Amino acid sequence: MTRSVVGWRAGGRAVYTQIAEMLEREIRERYEPGQMLPSEAELAERFGVNRHTVRRAVEALIGPGLVERVHGKGTVVLNPAIDYAIGSATRFTETLHSQGRSTASRVFRKLVIPAVGGVARRLNLEDGTAVLFIETLREVEGQPFCIISHFLPASRFSEVKDHYEQGSLHGFLKEHYALSLRRTESLISAVLPERDDALRLRMARNAPVLRVKSLNVDTATGEPVEYAVTRFRGDAAQLSIRP
């Protein structure tokens, strides 16, 4: 029953692979995040293949996190600009020392939430105490590099909530509170990214993330001031530690 329109078999490569590549190119060139792909039936007709074959092709785009299927709705484009090929050649080294003190970060979330679990414990607060929760995104050479979740006792830092918008958080604290911070603890681990982090970091969901949890205390009093969780793109970051 094989009709195989013109030259599918030409390359000797699987049809679904070729379709996947065409779709990927189209998505990168013509789609914005959030847009819907044509339905599987439409794609099947357009490429002159069975619906199962386009399904297989679409599956190849799900792995790297390019699209996502939503049952009953359709296939939605996640992030056409994911850069697969940063590679270790262009890996940026981050000195643990300077981490969090950089200037090129942008705030994309700022809320007051109740402290729970590890956050409360590390900031030495009662469970449920209000903390200021700030999330910043940092880019390096135009590429997303890391996301930092900052937690600070809300009572003490109301001014941060109202006025900190970008730049270095530690710089802001120093300026407005005459605070000098000292890092007391860093915990480093390798994990897979949360969905939202993968999107913001423009990375695949099955690619690794380097996560650093760190606690900063007031140099003068020793009191905990900030707890931060940083997620670096695994393919872009490398931490350097020197004793």
Partner DNA sequence: TAGTGGTCTAGACCACGCA
Partner DNA sequence: GCGTGGTCTAGACCACTAG
DSSP secondary structure of 139-153: EETTEEEEEEEEEEE
Which of a second copy, DNA, none does residue 208 bind (CB under 5 to 8 Å by kind)? a second copy
- Please tell me whether residue 192 binds a second copy under the rule CB under 8 A: yes
Binding-site member from 23, 27, 37, 236 for DNA (CB under 7 A): 37
Residue 207 is classified by DSSP as S
Given a contact cutoff of 8 angstroms between Cβ atoms, the answer to whether 16 and 60 are in contact is yes
Binding mask 93-132 for a second copy (x = CB under 8 A): x--x------------------------------------
Shortest approach of a second copy to residue 238 CB, angstroms? Answer: 5
Shortest approach of a second copy to residue 214 CB, angstroms? Answer: 9
Binding-site member from 10, 29, 34, 71 for DNA (CB under 7 A): 71
Rule CB under 8 A: which of 193-212 touch a second copy?
A: 206-211
Which of DNA, a second copy, none does residue 49 bind (CB under 5 to 8 Å by kind)? DNA
Rule CB under 8 A: which of 165-184 touch a second copy?
A: 182-184
For residue 194, report the phi and psi dihedrals to the nearest 5 degrees: -65, 160
Residue 63 belongs to what H/E stretch?
none
CA distances from 217 to 57, 122, 155, 220 (A): 51, 10, 16, 9
Shortest approach of a second copy to residue 231 CB, angstroms? Answer: 10
Given a contact cutoff of 8 angstroms between Cβ atoms, the answer to whether 147 and 133 are in contact is no
Amino acid in the structure at residue 146:
C
